[in-house]
Structure 1
Amino acid sequence: MRVMITMWAWGPSHYQPLVPLAWAFRLAGHDVMVATQPRLTRHVLRSGLPAMPLGTDDEVSAAVERFLKPGALPRKVMVGNKSESRTIRDFAQIAEAMAGPLTEAVRAFRPDLLIFEETTYAAPLVAALEGVPAVRHLLGLDCLSPLRWTESPALAELTERLGLGMVDLAGLVTVDACPPSMQVEGDFRRQLMRYVPYNGTAELPSWLDEGRRPRVCVTWGTSMYRFEYYDFVAGKIIDAVAGLGVDVVAALSEADRRALGPVPGNVRVAETLPLGAVLPGCDLVISQGGMGTTLTAAAFGVPHLIAPTLPDHKVNVGQLAKTGAGAVLDVSADAAGIAAQVAEVLETPSFTDAAHRVRAEIAAQPLPAEVAGRLAELVR
């Protein structure tokens, strides 16, 4: 079977969650191709999968830049005589730019199945146009589950221009690797899958197996520095946590490392080191609450303190808090206040107990290999 996997090139965080399923298909003997804009192809190649560039980076750059603008921009825009979420409008414009190149790629590769990242709305439209079964793959918590094409004026316009009727943006089925206790409800067909952390590749340092306990990881994602309204508070958190005398690992992007400056002696800076390598030896992770960080911590049973910045971060910490495995970190507090919040989580067994329950829940879900088999059977 020929399987095409596609996503628009926001960054590796929108690609990495799809890698385990892509590899499951490949290991089962299927022909797998990843189609995305050129800016993301190097990340695809690093994961050991083949890449097919779609169009040019310029076709999505304008929409990407709008995502990075200050939060003062209007949350709603007008499309014709209807209002629409600015975020969905941007996703729709990306879909419009991507539809042509993706159609060409589908006609060239001739996939039997098209798997798409949840905000890549061009994929289900092109799949319908070309008569290819489409499967949606969530990044984590499904913040956009209520959206259907009829509820988006911009997407409805694009669908009409393509000469299509009703197209379900959820595809035939949705692959969901978020543990059910954390997931939001959605009225679509769901295929659960075990979350298998893939956060990139790196040479692992020997100190990962060294150091005193407890160990706290402070990380701030891979793309927050790109936002114009980005407030780098990881340095403040690191200084506060280091004052507790614990072993601190600062797992940061290259840009965040430059912004960090000098650190206390009990802090190790791990620049671009995958969280999947760092978190197994940690007792607590502190982050902004991105999808990848949240689910990787959950998969390893690590309690999580989140200082949310973006809307999806707030959804993530809200759902995580319901399980008891995490809580909101108030970064407006002074160093003593932040340290007190961290110490409370480290000293309260219920956080670790809840994190272990979530880990067990994740481990009980079907492996990517089993899901690949089920999807292949669905296509047949």
Structure 2
Amino acid sequence: MRVLVVPFPWKAHVFNLVPLAWSLRTAGHEVRVACWPNLLDVVTSAGLTAVAVGPGETPEVRRQRDRRQTSERAAAAKRAPRQGLDPLFDIRPDRERLDWEQACRVFDDLVLPQARRSNDSMMDDLVAAARAWRPDLVLWGAKAFAGAVAAEAVGAAHARVLYSVDVYTRMRQDFLHARAQQPPERRTDAMRDWLSGWARRYGVAFCEDLVNGQFTVAPLPEAFRPDPGPTVLPVQFVPYNGPAVVPGWLAGPPPAPRVLMTFGDSVDDRPTRLPLPVEGIQGILGAVAGLEMELVLAVPPEVRQELREVPANTRLVESVPLAEVLPTCSAVVHHGGTWSFGCALRHGVPQLLISRAFDAPLKFRCLRAAGAGLAMTPAQADGPAVRAALVRLLHDADLRANAVRLREQMLALPAPNDLARTLETLAAAHRPGPVPAPR
């Protein structure tokens, strides 16, 4: 069959889809990855076939867009503060739902602005590419709603592929539940209005599959799937970080328990967005200097230049291949990114999240319920707090045992190669057949 892969237009989201794309290739299927032009090299360097959709941008235009989007995200965060959204991050089965005002604020100020920026500009190109190639299955990364629209426009089956804990399904469920309680004149739905407009343009009707897919691929253990459902397909998280070289210092055993601290960000070719200022990192280094460990601190060159003192127990590096370094680690401190989080789970390493990401509270509650890690906000992450957390990560036998248990659960899930066979069956069952292009 033909499989069209549509990542959300960030580098890390392309990485998330590479293992599954390759599993389908090695199963004998034709695979193409439709992405923004600035990501073509990322796709082709992974050995996959790319097709350009969306805006062609020079590096300078992209930098200007990045600065503008950073400013817009900051403004959106002020309009839609996380306070009051606690039900969204509650993992209990009987949790309270977001109320109508909260649910509207989430979609209007957080979800839709980013969705429109990243999807509108590639929608026409993507549908045209799908009509020309006629895929049988479309795999679209979470938030890449254009993939769902293109699949419906050509009568292909389609699945949403998660990159983290699924906060988007529960946001939509809460919204629809709250909307049903409103009088008819207040039952607005900006998400439906947006997707309906695009669907009509290509001759198809809106359905909820455009929001969350006909089925969902979830690459995390059961403990990190707080909203299980019959259309969820679990799969192992298999790390891919792009081209990497194993550093020479990994050849021998570490001189002391190794701790990796990484605040890397492979979202795009923009400067790393550290959750902590350099002074905060310096304070942490001073606080942990006396601990018996080898701290591997991965930070960009500009941060290394600003650090005044580096303790003897610290190895400074610019970047590391996580899948190679983490198996040698006793603990990891990171910013809650997809790859750091997933790699730590896969290798059974207790972890400390220092994160301001939107989904961080849901990740932490799942992690805490599993007893396999700790978390704090950047404001809480001073030297003494991080030192205390590291001491616990290194010496708490229960944390380590639970992290190993999560690793075993993850490795018991279907590998991407196994999932490829399931996707063949589901694609045949969900594919309605060709949809004629509107005249």
Q: TM-score normalised to the size of structure 1?
A: 0.89
Q: Is the 8 A contact 1:217 1:250 kept in 2?
A: yes
Task: Tell me whether 12-21 or 149-158 shows the greater mean CA deviation.
Answer: 149-158
Cα displacement string for residues 119-161 of structure 1 (whole angstroms, at most 9, x for unaligned residues)? 1011111211121111110002111113559965144234234
Match of 1:123 in 2: 147
Whole-angstrom distance in 1 between the partners of 2:366 and 2:383? 27
Per the alignment, in what secondary structure is the counterpart of residue 224 of structure 2? coil
Q: 2:79 aligns with which of 74, 81, 87?
A: 74
Match of 2:46 in 1: 47
Q: 2:227 aligns with which of 178, 182, 185?
A: 185
TM-fit CA distance, 1:7: 1.4
| Residues 334-349 of structure 1 mapped to structure 2, 5 A cutoff | 334-349=382-397
Letter in 1 for 2:206: M
TM-fit CA distance, 1:347: 1.1
Per the alignment, in what secondary structure is the counterpart of residue 163 of structure 2? coil
Whole-angstrom distance in 2 between the partners of 1:377 and 1:117? 20
Q: 2:345 aligns with which of 298, 305, 313?
A: 298
Letter in 1 for 2:391: A
Letter in 2 for 1:136: R
Change (3 A) 1:65 1:103: farther
Match of 1:165 in 2: 205
1:140 aligns with 2:201: no
Unpaired segments of 5 or more residues in structure 1? Answer: 77-81
Whole-angstrom distance in 1 between the partners of 2:218 and 2:302? 31
Letter in 1 for 2:257: P
Q: 2:399 aligns with which of 351, 354, 357?
A: 351
Higher relative contact order (CA closer than 8 Å, sequence separation 6+)? 2
1:201 aligns with 2:212: no
Q: 1:100 aligns with which of 124, 131, 156?
A: 124
Per the alignment, in what secondary structure is the counterpart of residue 359 of structure 2? helix
Q: Is the 8 A contact 1:145 1:186 kept in 2?
A: no
Q: 1:174 aligns with which of 175, 198, 216?
A: 216
Q: TM-score normalised to the size of structure 2?
A: 0.77
TM-fit CA distance, 1:266: 2.6
1:112 aligns with 2:136: yes
Over the residues paired in the alignment, what is the CA RMSD in angstroms? 2.8
Whole-angstrom distance in 2 between the partners of 1:364 and 1:289? 24
Per the alignment, in what secondary structure is the counterpart of residue 317 of structure 2? strand
Q: Is the 8 A contact 1:308 1:317 kept in 2?
A: no
1:221 aligns with 2:256: no
TM-fit CA distance, 1:245: 3.4
1:14 aligns with 2:8: no
Per the alignment, in what secondary structure is the counterpart of residue 185 of structure 1? coil
Q: Is the 8 A contact 1:143 1:184 kept in 2?
A: no
TM-fit CA distance, 1:363: 0.5
Match of 1:2 in 2: 2
Task: Tell me whether 31-40 or 46-55 shows the greater mean CA deviation.
Answer: 46-55
Whole-angstrom distance in 2 between the partners of 1:180 and 1:133? 25
Extract structure 1 runs of 4+ deviating beyond 6 A.
none
Q: Is the 8 A contact 1:92 1:154 kept in 2?
A: no
TM-fit CA distance, 1:95: 2.1
Unpaired segments of 5 or more residues in structure 2? Answer: 82-103, 177-188, 429-439
Q: Is the 8 A contact 1:127 1:133 kept in 2?
A: yes
TM-fit CA distance, 1:251: 2.7
TM-fit CA distance, 1:231: 3.6
Per the alignment, in what secondary structure is the counterpart of residue 146 of structure 1? helix
Match of 2:190 in 1: 153
TM-fit CA distance, 1:255: 5.7
1:363 aligns with 2:387: no
Q: Which has the larger radius of gyration?
A: 2
Whole-angstrom distance in 1 between the partners of 2:295 and 2:328? 11
